[in-house]
A and B are shown apart, each in its own frame.
Chain A
Amino acid sequence: MSMINYASREINCKLVYYGPGLGGKTTNLEHVYGRVSPETRGKMVSLATETERTLFFDFLPVDLGTIRGFKTRFHLYTVPGQVYYNASRKLILKGVDGVVFVADSQIERMEANIESMQNLYDNMAEYGYDLTKIPFVIQYNKRDLPNASPVADLEQQLNPGWPVEDAAKQKPKPDPWHEGHMLIERVDGTWIERAPYFESVAITGDGVFDTLKAVAKLVLKTLS
């Protein structure tokens, strides 16, 4: 739930990085933490187990600039990926303004990606949120690995699109980040919309800021 604080002149928004265990969610935040100047970010908090696996969440606040005299503060959260941490995973989604799904591109993690995506839809629905109506982007991580699935396969499995019911939105919308790819198009007579996607290698930082900027921009546009 974005909050506009007129007293401190800040717009606060909550972004959640979701996805299967060991997919690179925490690595995304660590990269942002390492690259952003200390004046524009806060302390990174990690509630992790002794083996560095996220137990509850990681948290990082960053300022992404000023609009109309208001600081745009984004609170970045990750969730624990392992299946059995669903109770804490669900808590983090409360009041979310934008979601990044970090998929693990490795072919053997396809099942885990699908399961986590389903779990995301279910947990959002329990709060009464509709993932197809809020800012949502998908990041295909670990693109550098030799066993990475082709993006087309990941798209087909994880981002097949949802039907566009609003007649006003039923018009072709090209993907601004990938030439020739469409975010809204007519397929077999039905209008469908897909989430924007990004390829990344979070460990080197490739694609990390592209993903963050895209979702942050979508969130701010919901306020305009």
Chain B
Amino acid sequence: MTGAGTWSLDESDYQKITANLTSLLKESNARCALLVDRTGQLLASAGEQLSFDPTAFASLTAADFSANDQLAKMIGEPEFASLFHQGEKESMYLADVARKVILVVLFDQRTTVGMVRLRVKQTVVDLSALFTEMFRRAAAADSQGAEQAGLLEGAEDEIDRLFED
């Protein structure tokens, strides 16, 4: 029992993720798609340029999902696997991916919630496989004692310097 651990997203995972998001947007005619981890960090996005602060958006998305998870438990459901927020012009659809990350799709009147929901279903299956494999790799590296996040190994001096006054 220690802390929350570390994980990393490498270039090739990132490419696969964005390819998935791009094809989802093409098929559903949605505006943009974001992938956010459960702690509120933005992992990737695709589609139209965002007109808002994506970091703040990501933290609120994770909080939204966490709060709804608790509401689900209160009414006797293990979880709400997806959420839909309907606006006058813009709407958003959120779906859980492998209990690790959240897929957020923003769309307007050019498509329908039914279409988005349908296309998200397949993307969730594909992304779930991808993330399950990523986390399996991270866990395997951990159990072999390998430091999966060896990026800062030996960087103590550099860290010290960063925080000097």
Residues of A near any B CB (own CB < 8 A): 1-7, 11-12, 14, 42-43, 45, 47, 56-57, 59, 61, 64-65, 67-68, 70, 72, 75, 77, 87-88, 91-92, 94-97, 125, 127-130, 133-134, 213, 216-217, 220-224
Contacts and interface: CB of A to CB of B under 8 A. Distances in A.
A211 B155 CA distance: 21
5 contacts: A4-B151, A14-B39, A68-B152, A133-B3, A224-B152
A125 B2 CA distance: 9
Interface of B: 1-11, 14-15, 37-41, 43-44, 53, 55-56, 59-60, 63, 66-67, 70, 149, 151-156, 158-160, 162-163
A185 to B, nearest CB: 23
Instruction: Report whether over half of chain B's contact residues are helix, strand or loop; otherwise say mixed.
Output: mixed
B162 A221 contact: no
B56 A223 contact: no
Contacts of A43: 53, 55-56
Contacts of B7: 1, 3-4
B163 A217 contact: yes
Q: Which among B37, B43, B59 has the highest number of chain A CB atoms within 10 Å?
A: B59
A128 B124 CA distance: 28
Contact of B153 (A42, A65, A128, A224): A224
Given A67-B152, A95-B38, A130-B3, A4 B9 contact: yes
Nearest to A66: B162
Contacts of A216: 163
A213 B5 contact: no
Given A43-B55, A43-B56, A88-B67, A129 B152 contact: no
Contact of A91 (B53, B60, B70): B70
Nearest to B164: A213
B154 A224 contact: yes
B63 A57 contact: yes
Contacts of B2: 129-130, 133-134
A111 B156 CA distance: 38
Contacts of B6: 1-4, 222-223
B3 A223 contact: no
Contact of B11 (A6, A97, A129): A6
A72 to B, nearest CB: 8
Contacts of A64: 162-163
Contact of B155 (A12, A67, A77, A129): A67
A65 B162 contact: yes
A214 B163 CA distance: 8
Contacts of B44: 7
A66 to B, nearest CB: 8
Nearest to B60: A45
B56 A59 contact: yes
Contacts of B15: 7
A4 B151 CA distance: 9
B4 A221 contact: no
Contacts of A57: 63
Nearest to A133: B2
A88 B68 CA distance: 11
Q: Which among B15, B151, B153 has the highest number of chain A CB atoms within 10 Å?
A: B151
A43 B52 CA distance: 10
Q: Which among B44, B67, B153, B159 has the highest number of chain A CB atoms within 10 Å?
A: B159
Given A45-B60, A56-B63, A5 B4 contact: no
Nearest to A99: B3
A99 B159 CA distance: 19
